[in-house]
Amino acid sequence: MFELVKYYEEFWKKREPKQHKSRYREHFGQKPIPVNVDVNKLNKTFKNEFAVSKMTFARFLPDEIVAALDNIACHIELFDAELWAKIVYHFAASYKKMKTDSDKDLLIESLKTLWIGRFVSYAIETKDMDVNKAEHIIQKSAEIFEKQFSYLRSIY
């Protein structure tokens, strides 16, 4: 994904942000097969990997985001889509500057840790929702990425 962001930079930087109209409709008539997720285990994984990788995050993220992540390590439910979008955008901007494959691998591995945290937060948020409401949360997250598109432009 980050290679494509870099490759198509001239194209996406010229693009105007889209104005979103809610396109959400219920798509799922049947209940999907349940997926068992051990949220507690994933949360422990996130906390452990976060503690180990905290200094690495500081290479790719501004201090205020690292401070917010410190708080999230204790309160995972606060890991919202807005913060996640900023994190992904900072990692994309950092990836552009990477010269070696080992630096790129480090960046991707540290992003994986943060993705686990975001997933745990999403799983907690949607725990008692039906699939249509959970899908609506995903659509709202996509809209947040689009709304913050100018932020990506400003840091890339």
- Does residue 28 carry a pLDDT above 70? no
Residue 122 lies in a domain: yes
Q: What is the mean pLDDT of the chain?
A: 91
| Cα 112 off chain centre by | 9
pLDDT of residue 27: 62
Residue 20 lies in a domain: no
Number of domains in the chain: 1
Residue 29 lies in a domain: no
pLDDT of residue 31: 63
Residue 11 lies in a domain: no
pLDDT tens digits for 70-129? 999 999 999 999 999 999 999 999 999 999 999 999 999 999 999 999 999 999 999 988
Provide mean pLDDT across the span 27-47.
81
Residue 25 lies in a domain: no
Residue 15 lies in a domain: no
| CA–CA separation, 20 and 75 (whole Å) | 30
CA 84, 89, 91: angle at the middle one, nearest 5? 95
pLDDT of residue 130: 86
pLDDT of residue 16: 79
Return the minimum-mean-pLDDT range out of 21-25, 120-124, 135-139, 144-148. Answer: 21-25
| CA–CA separation, 150 and 148 (whole Å) | 5
Residue 74 lies in a domain: yes
pLDDT of residue 15: 84
Residue 143 lies in a domain: yes
Report the range out of 33-47, 50-64, 128-142 with the highest average pLDDT.
Answer: 50-64
Domain enclosing residue 61, as ranges: 39-155
**Which tokens in the block code for residue 150?**
């100018």
pLDDT of residue 36: 84
DSSP classification of residue 18: P
End-to-end Cα separation, the chain, in angstroms = 15
Provide mean pLDDT across the span 152-156.
95
